[in-house]
Structure 1
Amino acid sequence: MSDLPLLKVNNLSKFYGSRIGCKDVSFELWPGEVLAIVGESGSGKTTLLNCLSTRLLPSTGSVTYRMRDETYRDLYHMNEAERRFLMRTDWGFVHQNPADGLRMSVSAGANVGERLMAVGDRNYGRIRQTAADWLSRVEIAEDRIDDQPRSFSGGMRQRLQIARNLVTSPRLVFMDEPTGGLDVSVQARLLDLLRGLVNDLGLAAIVVTHDLAVARLLSHRMMVMKDGHVIEQGLTDRVLDDPRERYTQLLVSSILQV
């Protein structure tokens, strides 16, 4: 890991009128680190993820990102074109519903190849070969490269979305309930795949989930949210094995259904 954080978040808040989306959230994320944000529905975890990934404008606070030239930029002082370029190249975003992160009317190969074209690759043969390699890497048969995602199962669509996001070697990936809505057996396979890819590529990732098993398997560190506030954070094993806050204890013991 680098000795400098990749992302610095300072007193980030989002309000919807008088309602709190998230309030006074601060943390740093390091290269190669996976952070899980957990909590029940309505806790603010998705609002926070959307503010971090520039999909939602925060009310107050700052999010600064270390660019490839080692300079820190405040994401909300960038112009829209700069933020879009960052999202197409240096970042990935894995949606809970893969249809939100794929173009359903073009082939699997084209879904992956579009990201390569966004970073300037124009060689068709190389793009197609790289797409085929990545389909294989996420356990999609190479002979499905010309098939549209609408013909894929939910698990295959999610794996294709992962390939589309990771093909450009991003440094930071946001994941919003990446295993939500999938059968348990499919979830287990996908988690194994994600864990392997994150480790192999040295990615930093922020994972929003209500599933503590997902958080334990994927993350190094965890933040627990309730009513828009971070109420506990620490190393994942510490938080899950020795929760200090009553709310976290309820989550871990599954008394509180999430």
Structure 2
Amino acid sequence: MNAPEAPLLTADGLTKWYGRQLGCRDVSFEIHQGEVLAVVGESGSGKSTLLRLLSGLMPLDAGRVCYRLRDGVTRDIAALTEAERRFLFRTDWGYVHQDPAAGLRMAVSAGGNVGERLMAVGARHYGRIRGSAMDWLTRVEIDPERIDETPKSYSGGMRQRLQIARNLVTEPRLVFMDEPTGGLDVSVQARLLDLLRGLVSDLGLAAIVVTHDLAVARLLSQRMLVMKGGSVIESGLTDRVLDDPREAYTQLLVSSILPP
């Protein structure tokens, strides 16, 4: 029997303070290749802080984040050089922001936004870069005829789909998603969620999805962390947590948000 593959990412005792205010405390978990983990909780529960700590966008006060690179070696993210971290973000990692403007260059064409990430990993042939950009626009349901338009002319839902294309074009292994459907109309949310679920499955991505929407967590994730006051108070398989929550807070969260 083959030995089980090592975790893709391991969080161990992650803690962050903002002065005297707690961001998150002693959060630990593992995520494996192809697995989707949802982090849920009310506003201020610490879930967005956790995502920024995991992705190295914010320094830790305690704990560590380790990531298994493509060569099989697991490294402490804090020990990587700035150049190594930048390379990781251009290749193995993606980050989908709630506000697409934070993840796009709004004055650059849609094709340029997608192609820029390809150029960052060494692509130089203009025709192939443009062809890949058109292919990815099609995959995220954007008319490739609009490749030369800037995101400023796109709707909110289109901007979010373009941000997803920009992130996935380099075939990352892990994608961080911060409220990926937040601020969108319900009908647009449903379409985007269907798209995300298909892409995650087709590409075998691992993803960490921060959301306050339990329906999003149900649709996208296999496992879930429930956060309150900066701490994880419940975790487990998504269906188990949502159908049979053990903690009173989780029960309240489920009963107040999910329909009976």
TM-score in terms of structure 1 length: 0.97
| Counterpart Cα distance in 2 of 1:89 and 1:111 | 15
Paired AA for residue 60 in structure 1: A
For the structure 1 residues 255 and 195, does the alpha-carbon distance in structure 2 shift closer, same or farther, using more than 3 Å as the test? Answer: closer
Which residue of structure 2 lines up, in the alignment, with residue 108 of structure 1?
A: 110
Over residues 137-183 of structure 1, what are the superposed CA-to-partner deviations in whole Å (9 max), with x where a residue is unaligned? Answer: 00000100000000000000000000000000000000000000000
| Counterpart Cα distance in 2 of 1:26 and 1:101 | 27
Which residue of structure 2 lines up, in the alignment, with residue 10 of structure 1?
A: 12
| Counterpart Cα distance in 2 of 1:220 and 1:255 | 19
Paired AA for residue 171 in structure 2: S
For the structure 1 residues 178 and 255, does the alpha-carbon distance in structure 2 shift closer, same or farther, using more than 3 Å as the test? Answer: closer
- The share of aligned pairs that are identical, in percent, is 75
Over residues 67-125 of structure 1, what are the superposed CA-to-partner deviations in whole Å (9 max), with x where a residue is unaligned? Answer: 00000110001111111111111100000000000000010000000010011110100
Aligned with 1:147: secondary structure? Answer: coil
Aligned with 2:11: secondary structure? Answer: strand
Distance apart, 1:3 and its partner CA? 1.9
Query: RMSD in angstroms over aligned alpha carbons?
Result: 1.0
Which residue of structure 2 lines up, in the alignment, with residue 212 of structure 1?
A: 214
1:136 corresponds to which of 138, 142, 145? 138
Which residue of structure 1 lines up, in the alignment, with residue 243 of structure 2?
A: 241
Distance apart, 1:255 and its partner CA? 6.8
* Greater mean deviation of Cα atoms: 13-22 or 58-67: 13-22
Which residue of structure 1 lines up, in the alignment, with residue 230 of structure 2?
A: 228
TM-score in terms of structure 2 length: 0.97
| Counterpart Cα distance in 1 of 2:229 and 2:244 | 22
Which residue of structure 1 lines up, in the alignment, with residue 129 of structure 2?
A: 127
Over residues 178-220 of structure 1, what are the superposed CA-to-partner deviations in whole Å (9 max), with x where a residue is unaligned? Answer: 0000000000000000000000000000000000000000000
* Greater mean deviation of Cα atoms: 77-86 or 60-69: 77-86
Which residue of structure 2 lines up, in the alignment, with residue 97 of structure 1?
A: 99
| Counterpart Cα distance in 1 of 2:257 and 2:158 | 33
Aligned length: 255
Which residue of structure 2 lines up, in the alignment, with residue 49 of structure 1?
A: 51
4+ runs of 1 displaced by more than 2 Å? none
Q: Which runs of 5+ in 1 are unaligned?
A: none
8 Å contact 2:214–2:257 — kept in the other structure?
A: no
Which residue of structure 2 lines up, in the alignment, with residue 81 of structure 1?
A: 83
| Counterpart Cα distance in 2 of 1:134 and 1:27 | 32
8 Å contact 2:51–2:210 — kept in the other structure?
A: yes
Q: Which runs of 5+ in 2 are unaligned?
A: none
| Counterpart Cα distance in 2 of 1:100 and 1:218 | 23
Distance apart, 1:231 and its partner CA? 0.1
Aligned with 1:49: secondary structure? Answer: helix
Aligned with 1:254: secondary structure? Answer: helix
